A = this chain, B = another copy of it.
Amino acid sequence: MDRPPSDIEALIELMARLPGLGPRSARRAVLRMIKKRGQLLQPLSEAMVKVAATARECVNCGNVGTSELCAICADPRRETGEICVVEDVADLWAMERSQVFKGRYHVLGGTLSALDAVGPDELRIPRLVDRAKTEEAREVILALNATIDGQTTAHYIAGELEALGVRVTSLAQGVPIGGELDYLDDGTITAALNARKSL
């Protein structure tokens, strides 16, 4: 059996470690890169070198930026006394795309998980409690995923912040805009019914 050249196999193996890609899609991706050397392969490797040199974690909130403080933490207009807690940076970007939240974030870097032995110290929760004090936060909004681990984490954080007299809220659960009931799971429908509002 002839195998792909070893440099190509090494690249396929690395690509297959990315989330959302398996061995088959990694092979297809690498072949596309080779076909589009000038438009894809070279720009990708250059973009990676740049990101490796410039990207860093914000020391305050865990967001990705290019300085010690991310653009949001460095922006005085976002010092609103509201901190939105998210699981990871992708969730922060999703919140920012909605353009509705004007405060600052706190990126946990995961959720508490008994199974994976993830405790509060692995999650920047102590740092969140510090921030709630030093930034004199009025409200901490928990924008965590509606999973069991996400909800366990939310309850744990609410308990930690209660003593400080900070208001702790969480995103409403319900039917997504444009969502069809028939495609929703029972838990979502139950949550939406329990949180029903008068028109």
**Which residues of A are at the interface with B, using a C-beta cutoff of 8 A?**
1-5, 7-8, 10-11, 14-15, 17-21, 25, 27-34, 37, 40-45, 47-52, 54-55, 64-66, 70-72, 75, 88-90, 93, 96-97, 99
Q: Is the CB of A45 within 8 A of B42?
A: no
Please give, as numbers and ranges, the residues of chain B lying within 8 Å of A2 by CB-CB distance.
70-72, 75, 96
User: Which of the listed residues A21, A55, A96 has the most CB atoms from chain B within 10 Å of its own CB?
Assistant: A55
CB distance from A13 to the nearest CB of B (A): 9
Select which of B5, B20, B37, B51 is within 8 A of A41 by beta carbon: B51
Write 12 A-B pairs (CB below 8 A) sorted by A numbering: A1-B97, A5-B64, A7-B55, A7-B66, A10-B47, A19-B25, A19-B32, A20-B29, A34-B51, A41-B48, A44-B45, A48-B48
Q: Is the CB of A52 within 8 A of B47?
A: no
Distance between Cα atoms of A49 and B41 in the complex (Å): 8
Distance between Cα atoms of A49 and B52 in the complex (Å): 15
Distance between Cα atoms of A50 and B41 in the complex (Å): 10
User: Are A99 and B1 CB-contacts (below 8 A) given A43-B14, A44-B11, A90-B31?
Assistant: yes
Q: Is the CB of A18 within 8 A of B14?
A: no
Q: Is the CB of B50 within 8 A of A7?
A: yes
Select which of B5, B19, B45, B71 is within 8 A of A48 by beta carbon: B45
Please give, as numbers and ranges, the residues of chain B lying within 8 Å of A65 by CB-CB distance.
5
Q: Is the CB of A4 within 8 A of B64?
A: yes
Distance between Cα atoms of A33 and B49 in the complex (Å): 11
Please give, as numbers and ranges, the residues of chain B lying within 8 Å of A96 by CB-CB distance.
1-3
